[in-house]
Structure 1
Amino acid sequence: MSRMLRASAIMAAGTMVSRLTGFVRTAVLASAIGVAALGNAYNIAYIIPLILFDLLIGGLLSSVVVPMIVRAQREDADGGRAYEQRLMTLATLVLLAIAILGVLCAPLLIELLTTDLSPREAEVATTLARFILPQIAFFGIGAIAGAILNTRDRFAAPMWAPVLNNIVVIGVGVLYHLVSAAGGNVDAATDADLALLGLGTTAGIVAQSIVLMISVHRAGFRFVPRLDLRNARLGEMGKAGMWTLAFVGLNQLSYIVTTNLATGATAKAGKVDVAGLASYSYAFQLFQLPYGIIAVSVITAMLPRMSRYAHEGEYAAIREEFASGVRLVSSVIVPCGLLLMVLGPAATVLIFAHGSISVQQAVSIGNVLQVFGLALVPFSIYQLLLRVFYAFGDTRTPALIAGGNFLVYAVTSYVLYLTLPPRLIVMGLTAAYALAYAVGGTVAWRLASRRVGGGLGGRLVAAGLSRMYVAAIPAAIVALAALWATTEWAGVTPLTSAVILVAGGGLGGALYLVASHRLRITEVSSIIALVAGRAGR
C-alpha cells in the first residue's frame, strides 16, 4: 500500500491544482452567466465538442493509442517516429473536418441534445456551439501530444497544461463580468457577449494545446505531416478499440438523455425557476472533485501493477491490490459522500451565490449535489472494478456492463421525468445516476470476482467500509447540527454558509479522524502519516 500511496500522492498533487482551478473557473463562469437560460445554453454548447471528441479519440487513448505508440517505438526501425507523425496528422485532419462539419450542423446538434428550448435559447446555444466547436481539432492535437509525452515518461506537461486552460477561461469570465450588461439574461446577451464566451472558451484549449506541443517538441518529437495513412494501422486500432468505443458511446448516450430531460424540466416549469442543466453540470463538477483527486490517482497507480499480475497469472496479488485500492479510496470517499449529503447547499451557496446566481438558485444546485453524495461511493468502486477487466485486456465486459447501466439510468430517469414535479426532476436524474452505478457496481463485482478466480476480498472490503461508515456518521451528525443551528440563527447567506462549512466540515472531519484512529482504520492512518512526512520535509 505504501507504494500506491506514494505514487498516488505525486499524481494527486497535479490533479488537485487542475481540479481546483477548474473549480474556480466554474464558479466564475456561473457567477457571470447564471444557471437559467444563458447558463443552460452555454453548458449545452460546451459539452458538444467533449462528446464528439470522446466518441472519436478520447476513449481510445489509454486503451489503444498509447499501447500502439509504445509498440511502434519498440518495433519500428525509426523508434516509432513516423508512426507518431502519422497519428498526429490523422487526428488533426479528422478532427478538423469534424469541427467544420459540427459548425455547419450546430442547429441539428443542439436539437439532438435538448428538449423544448425556446427559439431564443436555441439561437444562443447554436451561436455558442459554433464558437466552441473548433475546440475539437485542438483537443486532438493536445491529446496525441499528451500520449506521446506519456510514452516518454514525461507527465508534468499533461498534468499542468489544463491549469493554463482554466486560467484563460477564468479571465474570460472576469472580463464578461466587467464588459457585459447582460449578466445571465439570455435575451439581453449581444453577439459580442456570445463571442467573448465562446471564443474565450476555445482560446483556453488552444493555449493548452500549444503548451503540450512545445513540451513534446522539447521531448524530441518533430511533427512532419504524413499522408501515407495506410501505415497508420487503422484496422488494428479499430479492432482493438471497438468495445472501448461502445463503452464511451453508451456513456455519451446517457449524457444525451440527461441533457434532454434536464432542458425538458426547465421547459415544463415555464417561468418558474427550477434546477436545470446548468445546475446539474455545476453540481456534477463538485461531485467529481473528491473522486478526481483521490480515486483517479489510486486507479492510475494500481492499474499497471494489476496488469503485470494478470500477465503473470498472479490472481491472489490482483485481489490484494484491488482490495487495498478500494479501502484506500473509500477511507476518503465515504466521509466525503456523507458530508456532501449534509453540506451540499452550504458549499454551493458559498461558491455560487454571487453575480447572476441568487441564493435560492445556489441552494438548488446544492440539493442536486446532496443527491450526488449518494453516488460517490458506488461510482468510485465501479471505476475501480473496471480496472480489473482492463488489467486482463478485456474491454468487452466493461462495455456490456455499461449497456446495462445505460438501460437502468434511461428507464429510471424517464419514469421520474414523467412523474416528478419540474422542481425535482433534475434531483431525480441524479438519483437515477446513483442507482445505475449501484446496480452496475454489483454486476461488475460478481463478474470481476469470477475473472480472478476466488473473489475480490469482499468480506474484508465490507468490514472496512462498515468501520468507515461508523466513523463517518457521527461526523455527518455534527455537520448537520452546525447546519441547523446556523441557519436557524442567521438564515442562508454566503457568510453563514462559510461558517457552516468551517464549523460543520472542520469539526466533522476532525471527529472522523479521531473515530477512524479508535476503530483502527489503517488506511486513514497511512494517509495522515504520508501527509505529515511530506509536510515535515
Structure 2
Amino acid sequence: MSLVKKFATVGGATLGSRIFGFARETFMAAALGTGPMADVFYAAFRFPNLFRRLFAEGAFNAAFVPLFSKEIEANGVEGAKRFSEEVFGVLFSALLIITIAMELMMPWLVQWIIAPGFADDAEKTSLTIRMAAVMFPYLMCMSLTAMMSGMLNSLHHFFAAAIAPVFLNVVMIAALFYGMWIGAGPELIAWYLSWSVLVAGVLQLSVVYVGVRHAGINIGFRRPRMTPNVKRLLWLAVPAAITGGITQINQIIGQAIASGKEGAIAALQYADRIYQLPLGVVGVAVGVVLLPELSRALKGGHLKEAANTQNRSIEFVLFLTLPAAAGLWMLSDAIIRVLYERGAFSAENTAVVASILAIYGIGLPGFVLIKALQPGFYAREDTRTPMRFTMISVVINSGLAITLFPLIAERGIATAEATAGWTNVLLLFGTLVWRGHLQWEWALARRTALLVVSTAVMAGALYYALPYAMPWLSPGAHLLQQVLALSCLLALAMIVYFATAFAIGGADLGMIRRNLKGRRKPAAPPTE
C-alpha cells in the first residue's frame, strides 16, 4: 500500500471522528454556550485529556512503535506478542496506581493547576473537582488503547485504531441529545457528558482490543516485571511523553491563565475544535503512518527510502495545510457563525472565538509539521532531543501567554501557542538537516515557494468574494443560506488554490503519485 493510501485510510477515519466532533461541539455550544458550566466541563475534561496525550499517544507512538517493529523484524509475531504482554503488565499496574493517586489529589490539582481562576467561586471549584474525578479513569482506558493502536499501526492495520476516537464523539452526542430531550439544565447536561466520557473510553478500548485479536495477537496478562525491553521502553517513553503532549502542555498553561476570565476557557475550546479538523486529518495521519514506515526503512538499512519518505511527507503537509491556514484566517468569522451561533451562543461569542481561530490558523502548518518532523527522531530511538525542544517552546508559550493575556485576552493565549509551535518546527527541522537525517532538496524548497504563492492567490480571491457573500452570512440570514454561502466560498477557495498550484508547478499529480509510492528499494550496503 502506498503512503498516500495509508494517509487516506487514517485521515479518512480521523475525518469521520472530527465531523462527529463538530456535531458534538455545535450541540454543546447550543446547550452550554460559553457560560460557567461550559468552563467547568472543559476545565475538568482537559486534565484527563492532557494525561492521555502525555502518557498514551505521545509515549507509545514515539517509543513503543519502533521497539515493537524491531521485535517483529527480529523475532516475528511471537516475539512481538511477548514484548507487548511485558509492557501491558507494567502499564496496567502503573496506570492503576496513577489513577488512584490522582483521584485522591483532585481537590488540590483543580485549585492549583487545572483552574486556579475558579478559586473565588466555591461552586465552580466543587463541580470541577467532582467532574474531573468522574472522567479521570478515561486515562487508563485511553493509555491501553494507545498501546494496542501502536501494535495495529506496526502491523499495518490502521483503520481500527483510527476509527476508535469516533466513539467518544458518538457517546457524548447521545448524552447531549438525551439531556436536551428531557429538558435538563446546563449542570445536569455537564454531568451526563462527564459520565459519557468514561463510557466512551471503555468502548474505544474494546474496539482496538478486537482489532488486535483480529490481527492475530492475543494479549495475556503477565506479572509486572522490569525486563530489558520494558526498561528500554521507559527510557524512551519518559521524554516522548513530554514531547508528544506539546500542544496539550501549552493548552493547559493557557487554560490556567484563561480561567481568570469568564468564558475564556470555553472560547478557546470552541476555536480549538475547528483547527483540530485539518490538524487531525493531516497531522495525525502523517504521524501515525510515518513513524512505522521510517522505523522499518531504517532498521532495514534503506536510508535513501527513509529520507525520501520524510521529505514527501513534509511536502504533503505543506500542500494541504497552507491553504487551510489561509482559509481559517479569511473565513474565521463565517465558520464560527455557521457552526456555533445559535441558542446560548451569541454574536459577541462569535467575534471572540473567530479572532482566536484566525490566530490558530497561522499556527496550523507549524502544528502539523511537528507531526511530520518528530518521527525523524523517534524512528532513530532519539526521544530526548524533541523533548528539549518541547521544553523551550513551553517556556516561550508560558512567557508570551502571561504577557499577552492582560493586553488581548484569549487572543494572547492563541498567539503564544502559535509562536511556540513554529519555534519547535524551526528547531526540529534545523537539527534534522544539521545531522544529515533530512536531505535538503532545492526542488522541495521551490515547490514550497510556489505553494505559498498559490495560497496567496486563493486568499486574494476570498478577499474579493467575501463582500458578495456577506448578506447571506449575516446573523439574520437563515442557517441554510449561511451554509450555502460558506460552502460556495470553500469551493471557490479549493478551485482557485488547486488550479493555481498545478498551473504554476507547485504541485504535479504525476510527481505526487510517484513519490508517495510505498515501494521498497533494494537495501543499500551499511555504511561504517
CA contact (8 A) 2:250 2:398 kept: yes
Structure 2 CA distance for aligned equivalents of residues 454 and 301 of structure 1:
18
CA contact (8 A) 1:482 1:500 kept: no
Aligned pairs for 1:356-367 (under 5 A) are: 356-367=344-355
Residue 236 of structure 2 corresponds to residue 236 of structure 1: no
Structure 1 residue 453 displacement after superposition: 6.8
Structure 1 residue 370 displacement after superposition: 0.8
Partner-residue secondary structure (3-state), 2:345: coil
Q: 2:255 aligns with which of 251, 256, 259?
A: 259
- What TM-score do you get using the length of structure 1 for normalisation? 0.85
Q: Deviations over 1:55-90 (max 9, x none)?
A: 334322122223444555654995454543343333
Structure 1 residue 449 displacement after superposition: 0.9
Residue 103 of structure 2 corresponds to residue 103 of structure 1: yes
Structure 1 residue 496 displacement after superposition: 5.2
CA contact (8 A) 2:246 2:394 kept: yes
Structure 2 CA distance for aligned equivalents of residues 212 and 198 of structure 1:
22
Letter in 2 for 1:237: L
Letter in 1 for 2:452: Y
Q: Deviations over 1:394-423 (max 9, x none)?
A: 2222111112211211111111123x1xxx
Q: CA RMSD in A?
A: 3.0
Change (3 A) 1:166 1:367: same
- Residue 269 (structure 1) aligns with: none
Letter in 1 for 2:400: T
- Residue 138 (structure 1) aligns with: 141
CA contact (8 A) 1:44 1:125 kept: yes
Letter in 2 for 1:431: T
- Residue 398 (structure 1) aligns with: 386
Partner-residue secondary structure (3-state), 2:443: helix
Structure 1 residue 468 displacement after superposition: 1.7
Q: Per chain length, whose mean CA-contact separation is higher, i.e. which structure has more relative contact order (CA < 8 Å, sep 6+)?
A: 2
- Residue 463 (structure 1) aligns with: 446
Structure 1 CA distance for aligned equivalents of residues 131 and 36 of structure 2:
13
Q: Deviations over 1:407-461 (max 9, x none)?
A: 211111111123x1xxx3111111122222222222222211111178522x433
Change (3 A) 1:480 1:179: farther
Structure 1 residue 233 displacement after superposition: 4.3
- What TM-score do you get using the length of structure 2 for normalisation? 0.87
Q: Deviations over 1:222-246 (max 9, x none)?
A: 4543325244844332223243234
Letter in 2 for 1:519: I
CA contact (8 A) 1:57 1:140 kept: yes
Structure 2 CA distance for aligned equivalents of residues 349 and 339 of structure 1:
15
Residue 505 of structure 2 corresponds to residue 520 of structure 1: yes
The gaps in structure 1 that reach 5 residues or longer are 184-188, 267-274, 531-537
Letter in 2 for 1:507: L
Partner-residue secondary structure (3-state), 2:475: coil
Change (3 A) 1:234 1:489: closer
Identity of paired residues, percent? 20
Change (3 A) 1:453 1:212: closer
Letter in 1 for 2:415: A
Q: Deviations over 1:299-326 (max 9, x none)?
A: 4444445445555776665554433322
- Structure 1 stretch displaced more, 163-172 or 18-27: 18-27
Structure 1 CA distance for aligned equivalents of residues 417 and 315 of structure 2:
23
Letter in 2 for 1:226: R
Partner-residue secondary structure (3-state), 2:259: helix
- Residue 203 (structure 2) aligns with: 207
Partner-residue secondary structure (3-state), 1:229: coil
- Residue 241 (structure 2) aligns with: 245
Change (3 A) 1:468 1:136: same
Structure 2 CA distance for aligned equivalents of residues 369 and 337 of structure 1:
10
- Residue 84 (structure 2) aligns with: 84
Structure 1 CA distance for aligned equivalents of residues 280 and 248 of structure 2:
19
Structure 1 residue 199 displacement after superposition: 0.7
Letter in 2 for 1:141: L
CA contact (8 A) 1:412 1:432 kept: yes
Residue 144 of structure 2 corresponds to residue 159 of structure 1: no
Structure 1 CA distance for aligned equivalents of residues 292 and 225 of structure 2:
31
Q: Deviations over 1:178-208 (max 9, x none)?
A: 224424xxxxx2xx54431211221111111
- Residue 4 (structure 1) aligns with: 3
Residue 117 of structure 2 corresponds to residue 113 of structure 1: no
Q: Deviations over 1:472-495 (max 9, x none)?
A: 223223323333334367733545
- Structure 1 stretch displaced more, 43-52 or 324-333: 324-333
Aligned pairs for 1:167-316 (under 5 A) are: 167-183=170-186, 189=187, 192-231=188-227, 233-248=229-244, 252-266=248-262, 276-307=264-295, 310=298
Partner-residue secondary structure (3-state), 2:505: coil
- Structure 1 stretch displaced more, 64-73 or 28-37: 64-73
Q: Deviations over 1:253-298 (max 9, x none)?
A: 42331111111233xxxxxxxx511221221121121132224324
CA contact (8 A) 1:328 1:523 kept: no
Structure 2 CA distance for aligned equivalents of residues 220 and 163 of structure 1:
24
CA contact (8 A) 2:61 2:288 kept: no
Q: 1:491 aligns with which of 474, 494, 518?
A: 474
- Structure 1 stretch displaced more, 242-251 or 496-505: 242-251
Structure 1 CA distance for aligned equivalents of residues 308 and 159 of structure 2:
30
Aligned pairs for 1:12-31 (under 5 A) are: 12-31=11-30
Partner-residue secondary structure (3-state), 2:164: helix
Structure 1 residue 172 displacement after superposition: 0.9
Residue 426 of structure 2 corresponds to residue 438 of structure 1: no
- Residue 377 (structure 1) aligns with: 365
Structure 2 CA distance for aligned equivalents of residues 439 and 77 of structure 1:
40
Residue 512 of structure 2 corresponds to residue 511 of structure 1: no
Structure 2 CA distance for aligned equivalents of residues 60 and 489 of structure 1:
47
Structure 1 residue 144 displacement after superposition: 3.0
Query: Aligned pairs, how many?
Result: 509
- Residue 270 (structure 1) aligns with: none
The gaps in structure 2 that reach 5 residues or longer are 516-528
Aligned pairs for 1:55-66 (under 5 A) are: 55-66=54-65
Structure 1 CA distance for aligned equivalents of residues 270 and 146 of structure 2:
25
